[in-house]
């Protein structure tokens, strides 16, 4: 029935003799390890020497594991399973490595229990064997999975910093009797995948007997031409994983298992996994976003109750800095560029302030990696200027000092460079009278100032959005209506180009719903689209094109009165209080502010004009801004 090599045939002969001496007729697996140690130059003898296990220890554990069994034929059920497995992974005769490999996969066998009692990890021994030998079935099954534990052993995974609470929570859940499958739920970019990879490294470094495998569903789906192909591959993979001691399956974007692989009269991944989860044959770590969890897994009660949730929150800015400082040596070693700790801190501050469509720490790590890649390719040093360049590229604009048609646009550069903009204001708001030539000049100035292309400018006519139904084309259709799966014009523009210019023609004719959206943009710095996605507008420049006198949305009354003085009005939102930052700017440019009056909203834009004029035209002289009656003047 089985084709054994000469050395294994000799081992079986000696095992039969010892079994009879022990009063049994049916051969089990208990004597195989001690007899395999007698094979001079054999792989088991070699591995025991490598792990510093003495022959006497193996013999003692074998003696303590002896059992009396009923006569069930020549081989016990466990030994039959071992021989079947060994035959399956061999290319011909069953040799010592095949037999040992099969024992390490047969958890119910006595030989497996002896391995465990010796303090050895079957998973580690399996990996050792796979590094030396080519096992037929093993290679076929492993092509659909990546072994994260092996990557940790090879030093290919980054260390995890500031996430110890999540690691401890995962460890507690994995050791529970029921619901022992952790499900990491959090926004994209908060570090869910990194936590699992960090756990794999933590488990390896602390000698925890876990083997974490991540499934490659796309590869498993490829070339599944006929019904049943995919289910067969999944069953093979699940049987392989369940046969390995303490194997844990990690499925990133786990919401995709619902529906994946399904077709007429066939099961999807979720339904294939449910029986394994119900019997606790395997453990699964999943990761998904909050929205996808609510849309998919939460609605499947049978699947949902198998998991225990871990809510992964976005780390604070200070924690993000510690994470990047921890990752710094790894990135320095990869890119061969040294980094200052202060530069890491600056990078985190700037990325957090300017990139609003991604989460910490992912956005900061992205900027760090891209900056070092750029520096390496161009033989640059890693500097704060390079950080600014990379972030501006990511956001989509570069502030440039050029000649402008409007002096007010040049002032925006001064405000941005000196960070005089109030933090509570989220965007720049410009009003201009309806004049084709003036609008074209303004578009040119903004493109030059921001360094953007024309596709990043969106023009809409408020007259076209008088009806509530027309608003659907801006932010998308409600659920259940045609077009729900598509983005609206405005939401698509801002998701594609966060640093956009929105020109609203006939803005004084805004309808109530449209005015509500723009008021939310002015006051809160974001709005929600039809899918409930929060769209940030921090880098947005809004241009109101006026056709007649009106109350400007987002402008206060005092500033509105000044619109007759200029063709263009900018609500620049400079800091109105005499705070430390404002005083630093005044000192920097040799300007003195007379403290005999309180700065009111009506004074802000005039003060900004005077500061800008003094800096541009009279840099070498000291000046004083004073209140003379109701007039603010520069002396």
CB atoms near residue 467 (< 10 Å)? 10
Q: How many CB atoms lie within 10 A of CB 579?
A: 9
Closest CA to 366 of 381, 377, 350, 378: 350
Q: Are 203 and 168 in contact (CB under 8 A)?
A: no
CA distance 606 to 558: 11
Give the number of other Cβ atoms within 10 Å of residue 324's Cβ: 24
- Is there a contact between 258 and 270 (Cβ–Cβ < 8 Å)? yes
What percent of the chain shows pLDDT beyond 90?
A: 28
Asked if 248 and 285 count as a contact pair (C-beta separation under 8 A), the reply is yes
Which ranges constitute the DSSP H helices of 423-566?
436-450, 472-475, 489-496, 512-524, 557-561
pLDDT for residue 617: 59
| Sheet of strand 247-252, all strands in order from the earlier edge strand to the far edge | 145-147, 211-215, 247-252, 283-288, 181-185, 307-311
Kindly state the DSSP code that residue 226 receives in the 8-state scheme: S
Q: Stretch 447-462: mean pLDDT, rounded? A: 84
What pLDDT is stored for residue 103 in this prediction?
93
Alpha-carbon gap, residue 195 to 9, rounded angstroms: 48
The better pLDDT of the pair 156, 414 is held by: 156
Residue 20 β-bridge partners: none
Q: List, for residues 218-239, the tens digit of each pLDDT value.
A: 777 766 666 667 777 777 777 7
**pLDDT average, residue stretch 279-296:** 86
Asked whether residue 334 carries a pLDDT value surpassing 70, the answer given is yes
The rounded Cα 601 to chain-centroid distance in angstroms is 43
Residue 75 tokens, joined: 């081989």
Statement: residue 184 has pLDDT above 60: yes
Q: Residues 520, 526, 529, CA angle at the centre, nearest 5°?
A: 95
Q: What is the pLDDT of residues 536-549, one digit of tens each?
A: 887 788 888 877 54
Rounded Cα distance, 344 and 387, in Å: 10
Distance of alpha carbon 89 from alpha carbon 101, whole angstroms? 9
Lowest mean pLDDT among 248-252, 402-406, 613-617: 613-617
Instruction: Assign domain 407-571 to its CATH architecture.
Output: 3-Layer(aba) Sandwich (3.40)
Q: For the chain, how far is it from start to end, CA to CA, in angstroms?
A: 107
Q: Average pLDDT of 357-377?
A: 94
Say which residue the tokens 């007039």 belong to.
631
Range 192-218 burial, b when 16+ CB lie within 10 A, else e: bebbbbbbbbbbbeeeeebbbbbbebe
Q: 6-135 has which CATH code?
A: 1.10.1780.10
**What is the CATH code for 145-311?**
3.40.50.300
610: left (phi over 0), alpha (psi -120 to 50) or beta: alpha
pLDDT surpassing 90 at residue 456? no
Reported as a single tens digit per residue, the pLDDT across 588-603 is 655 555 545 555 555 6
Question: If you average pLDDT over residues 148-170, what whole number do you get?
Answer: 86
- Calculate mean pLDDT across residues 164-192: 92
* Range with top average pLDDT, 68-72, 556-560, 570-574, 595-599: 68-72
Mean pLDDT on 393-411: 66
Q: Do the two domains 317-395 and 407-571 of this chain adopt the same fold?
A: no
Share of residues in the chain with pLDDT > 70 (%): 76
Per-residue model confidence (pLDDT) at position 260:
57
Q: Compute the CA torsion angle 448, 454, 457, 459 (nearest 10 deg).
A: 130
**Cα separation, 257 vs 268, whole angstroms:** 7
pLDDT digits (tens, 9 = 90+) for 23-55: 888 888 889 999 999 998 899 999 999 999 999
pLDDT of residue 393: 83
User: Above 70 in pLDDT, residue 574?
Assistant: no
Identify the band that residue 287 occupies on the pLDDT scale cut at 50, 70 and 90. very high
pLDDT at 583: 59
State residue 587's pLDDT score: 65
pLDDT band at 140 (very low <50, low <70, confident <90, very high): very low
How far apart CA 579 and CA 96 sit, in angstroms, is 79
Asked if omega into 361 is within 30° of 0 (cis), the reply is: yes
Domain ranges of the chain: 6-135, 145-311, 317-395, 407-571, 580-634
Give me the pLDDT at residue 511, please: 86
Higher-confidence position of 575 and 544: 544
Flag whether pLDDT at 581 surpasses 60: no
| pLDDT level of residue 374 (50, 70, 90 thresholds) | very high
Strands 247-252 and 283-288: parallel
Structure tokens at 587: 């000192």
Q: pTM to 2 decimals?
A: 0.60
Q: What is the mean pLDDT of residues 130-159?
A: 74
Average pLDDT, the chain: 79
Paired residues of 528 in beta bridges: 534
The mean per-residue pLDDT over the stretch 510-521 comes to: 86
pLDDT band of residue 395 (cuts 50, 70, 90) is confident
Give the bridge partners for 368, in sequence order.
none
Directed axis angle between helix 110-117 and helix 96-105, to 10°? 80
pLDDT for 257 equals 81
Alpha helices in 361-465 (DSSP H): 362-378, 384-395, 407-417, 436-450
Tell me if 183 sits within 8 A of 254, measured CB to CB: yes
Per mean pLDDT, which of 11-20, 155-164, 256-265, 336-345 is the most reliable? 336-345
The number of beta carbons lying within 10 Å of the beta carbon of residue 455 is 10
Nearest to 10 by CA among 44, 47, 36: 36
Helical axes 601-617 vs 407-417, angle rounded to 10° = 90
By C-alpha distance, which of 111, 43, 42 is closest to 75? 111
What order do you get walking across the sheet with 623-628 strand by strand?
A: 591-593, 623-628, 631-634
User: Among 371-375, 578-582, 623-627, which stretch is predicted with the lowest mean pLDDT?
Assistant: 578-582
pLDDT value, residue 317: 93
Best CA proximity match to 258, nearest among 216, 299, 318: 299
Name the most confidently modeled range: 61-65, 317-321, 490-494.
317-321
Contact indicator for 576, 418 with CB cutoff of 8 Å: no
> Which has the minimum average pLDDT: 36-45, 205-214, 379-388, 421-430?
421-430
Query: What is the CATH code of the structural domain delimited by 317-395?
Result: 1.10.8.60
Q: How confident is the model at residue 584 (pLDDT cuts 50, 70, 90)?
A: low
Within 10 angstroms of residue 49's Cβ, the number of other Cβ atoms is 11
Measure the CA–CA gap between 546 and 66, rounded to whole angstroms: 94
Q: What is the pLDDT of residue 138?
A: 47
With 0-12 CB in 10 A as exposed, 13-18 as middle and 19+ as buried, what is 318?
A: exposed
């Amino acid at each position: 029935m089985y084709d054994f090599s000469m050395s294994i045939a000799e081992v079986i002969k000696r095992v039969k003799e010892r079994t009879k001496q022990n009063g049994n007729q049916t051969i089990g697996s208990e004597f195989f390890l001690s007899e395999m140690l007698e094979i001079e130059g054999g792989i088991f003898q070699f591995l025991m020497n490598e792990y510093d296990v003495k022959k006497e220890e193996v013999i003692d554990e074998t003696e303590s594991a002896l059992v009396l069994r009923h006569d069930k034929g020549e081989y016990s059920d466990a030994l039959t399973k071992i021989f079947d497995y060994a035959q399956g992974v061999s290319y011909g005769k069953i040799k010592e490595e095949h037999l040992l490999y099969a024992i390490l996969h047969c958890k119910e066998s006595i030989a497996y229990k002896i391995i465990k009692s010796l303090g050895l990890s079957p998973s580690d021994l399996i990996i050792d064997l796979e590094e030396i030998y080519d096992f037929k079935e093993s290679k076929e099954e492993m092509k659909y999975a990546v072994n994260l534990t092996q990557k940790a052993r090879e030093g290919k995974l980054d260390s995890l910093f500031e996430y110890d609470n999540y690691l401890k929570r995962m460890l507690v859940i994995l050791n529970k009797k029921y619901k022992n499958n952790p499900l990491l739920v959090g926004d994209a970019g908060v570090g869910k995948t990194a936590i699992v990879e960090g756990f794999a490294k933590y488990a390896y470094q602390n000698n925890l007997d876990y083997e974490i495998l991540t499934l490659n569903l796309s590869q498993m789906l490829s070339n599944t031409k006929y019904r049943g192909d995919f289910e067969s591959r999944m069953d093979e993979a699940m049987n392989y994983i369940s046969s390995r001691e303490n194997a844990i399956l990690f499925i990133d974007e786990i919401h995709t298992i619902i529906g994946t692989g399904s077709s007429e009269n066939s099961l999807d991944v979720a339904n294939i996994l449910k029986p394994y989860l119900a019997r606790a044959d395997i453990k699964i770590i999943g990761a998904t976003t909050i929205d996808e969890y609510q849309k998919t897994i939460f609605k499947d009660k049978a699947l949902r109750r198998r998991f225990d949730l871990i809510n992964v929150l976005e780390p604070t800015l200070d924690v993000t800095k510690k994470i990047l400082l921890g990752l710094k040596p790894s990135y320095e070693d990869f890119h061969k560029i040294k980094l200052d700790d202060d530069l890491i801190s600056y990078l985190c501050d700037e990325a957090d302030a300017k990139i609003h469509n991604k989460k910490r720490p992912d956005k900061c790590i992205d900027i760090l990696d891209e900056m070092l890649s750029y520096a390496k390719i161009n033989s640059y040093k890693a500097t704060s200027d390079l950080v600014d360049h990379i972030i501006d590229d990511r956001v989509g604009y570069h502030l440039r000092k050029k000649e402008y048609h409007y002096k007010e646009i040049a002032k925006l550069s001064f405000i941005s460079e000196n960070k005089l903009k109030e933090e509570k204001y989220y965007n720049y708001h410009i009003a201009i009278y309806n004049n084709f030539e003036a609008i074209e000049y303004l578009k040119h100035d903004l493109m030059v100032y921001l360094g953007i292309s024309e596709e990043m400018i969106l023009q809409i006519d408020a007259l076209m959005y008088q009806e509530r139904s027309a608003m659907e084309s801006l932010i998308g259709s409600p659920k259940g209506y045609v077009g729900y799966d598509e983005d609206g014009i405005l939401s698509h523009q801002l998701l594609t180009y966060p640093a956009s210019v929105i020109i609203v023609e006939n803005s004084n004719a805004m309808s109530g719903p449209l005015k509500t959206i723009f008021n939310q943009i002015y006051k809160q710095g974001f709005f929600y689209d039809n899918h409930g996605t929060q769209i940030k507008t921090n880098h947005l420049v809004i241009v109101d094109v006026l056709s007649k006198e009106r109350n400007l949305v987002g402008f206060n009354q005092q500033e509105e009165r000044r619109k007759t003085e200029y063709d263009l009005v900018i609500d620049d939102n400079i800091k109105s209080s005499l705070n430390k930052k404002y005083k630093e700017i005044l000192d920097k440019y040799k300007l003195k502010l007379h403290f005999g009056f309180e700065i009111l909203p009506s004074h802000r834009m005039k003060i900004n004009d005077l500061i800008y004029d003094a800096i541009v035209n009279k840099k070498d002289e000291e000046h004083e801004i004073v209140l003379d009656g109701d007039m603010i003047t520069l002396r």
